[in-house]
Amino acid sequence: MSAFFDALREKIVTDQRITDAEALQLFESDDLLAIGELAALANERRNGRRVFFNVNRHINYTNVCVNQCRFCAFCKEGYEPEAYTYNLNQILQKAAEARDAGATELHMVGGLHPELPFEFYLRMMATIKANNPQMKIKAFTAVEIDYFATIAKLPVEEVISELKRCGLDSTPGGGAEILGEAVRSQICPEKISGERWLEVTEKIHQGGLKSNATMLFGHVEGYADRVDHMAKIRTLQDRTGGFQSFIPLAFQPDNTRIPNAKGPGGIDCLKTLAISRIYLDNFQHIKAYWIMLGLKIAQVALSFGVNDLDGTVVEEKIGHDAGADSPQQLSKDEILRQIRNAGKIPVERDTLYQDLQVYGEHEGEDADEDGADNA
Ligand code: V47
């Protein structure tokens, strides 16, 4: 086995890509620490000791959704008592709270609502931007953008350019789940195909917007499905370069309709994050979304190839409706503490990964732009 790890190490230090078969072999290995060491090396070469986070706020404008994915505890039918849709004033109120709390980004996604017209979303963007010109808006998954094209009877390209015109700055990575159809037909049969997700994402990139890519893992999929998923994403990234970060999402099982799926354990989470770092050689950032992973695994992941801890979040519903036991929000100080205690250099970023502030390694210290200590 160590010859295998030596060969992969050689590939990493000579910037060669690992194959799908090698990624599968990594998933099948029990040597978590050897996998983690390779991932840490790959990350160190790319990002040094810097770990990104941002100050953001999630706004989920509606949970009413025509798709009813089996893994989702957030989505509701319009008649259910927990169904909600925020009006524009409520959304503006949350945006103003976020701005006053120092947020630089709103992360906005929601269900595929059967009645809201495309104009609602355009007005939402334009009004938020008019009231908060400095705020970046990361909103609408490829699944939503495809849905807007259907309800507005417009080409996807036009939907993207209209949203951009009204203030959209980038799009999040949701809706990818597992891209292979064999899994998709079991966990989200009503959702657009994996192929369509890739097509719409390509158009988002061609339209001049950056996006992310997620992978929902720990339900019915096998290791080969994860590798296939990452292969499709790596291939698209080769073509467009439009992905900013890859985000493995640990499945939360409560209140969902996937019988017997318990979600991944800590070892599987770390292994998956680490292998994604090694395999996705054309991604700059691997994000540990602490909401789904739990804060402790997310912190340990910083030694397993991860260089982004997402953000402060503030009002998380999708994971918590499904039983996530993480907090619903973190203060900036808490994020700084988590990163520093992992022996890393915290960097507050904006939506497009521009440095906003590089922090010292220890509380009370300052650092240069390149992360070198001044203290
Ligand atoms: O697409 C739904 C997932 C996603 C569950 O781009 C679940 O920066 C776990 O995409 N257990 C939405 N996951 C969240 C998302 C995201 C989060 C943070 C940052 C970014 C980014 C994107 O949540 C959905 C789906 O894949 N999800 N239900 C569940 N039970």
CATH number at residue 71: 3.20.20.70
Task: Report the C-alpha gap between 283 and 212 in whole angstroms.
Answer: 10
171 CA closest ligand 1 atom index: 6
pLDDT of residue 264: 98
What's the pLDDT tens digit per position in 283-337? 999 999 999 999 999 999 999 999 999 999 999 999 999 999 999 899 999 999 9
Residue of the CA atom closest to atom 18 of ligand 1: 289
What is the DSSP secondary structure assignment for residue 64, as one 8-state letter? B
- Report the interhelical angle of 223-240 vs 266-279 (nearest 10°): 30
What's the pLDDT tens digit per position in 233-276? 999 999 999 999 999 999 999 999 998 999 999 999 999 999 99
Task: Report the C-alpha gap between 70 and 187 in whole angstroms.
Answer: 5
Regions of the chain with pLDDT less than 50: 369-375
- Count of structural domains, the chain: 1
Angle at 122 (CA atoms; ends 208, 78), nearest 5 degrees: 120
SS (H, E, C) 136-187: EEEECCHHHHHHHHHHHCCCHHHHHHHHHHCCCCEECCCCCCCCCHHHHHHH
Tokens of 132: 């908060």
Mutate to test the pocket of ligand 1, among 72, 143, 283 (most ligand atoms within 8 A of CB): 72
Mutate to test the pocket of ligand 1, among 144, 209, 214 (most ligand atoms within 8 A of CB): 214
pLDDT of residue 373: 41
Domain range enclosing 267: 2-374
Residues flanking ligand 1, CB < 6 Å: 71-73, 172-175, 177, 212, 214, 216, 247, 249, 251-252, 256, 289, 292, 310, 318-319, 322
Give the predicted TM-score (pTM) of the model. Answer: 0.96
CA distances from 171 to 13, 80, 308 (A): 32, 29, 17
* Interval between CA 318 and ligand 1 midpoint (Å): 7
Q: How many helices (H) and strands (E) does the chain have?
A: 15, 11
Task: Report the C-alpha gap between 275 and 304 in whole angstroms.
Answer: 9
List of residues 6+ apart from 300 with CB closer than 8 A: 266, 270, 342
Residue of the CA atom closest to atom 30 of ligand 1: 252
292 CA closest ligand 1 atom index: 9
Task: Report the C-alpha gap between 71 and 37 in whole angstroms.
Answer: 32
Residue 352 three-state SS = coil
- Structural element, H or E, at residue 247: strand 243-250
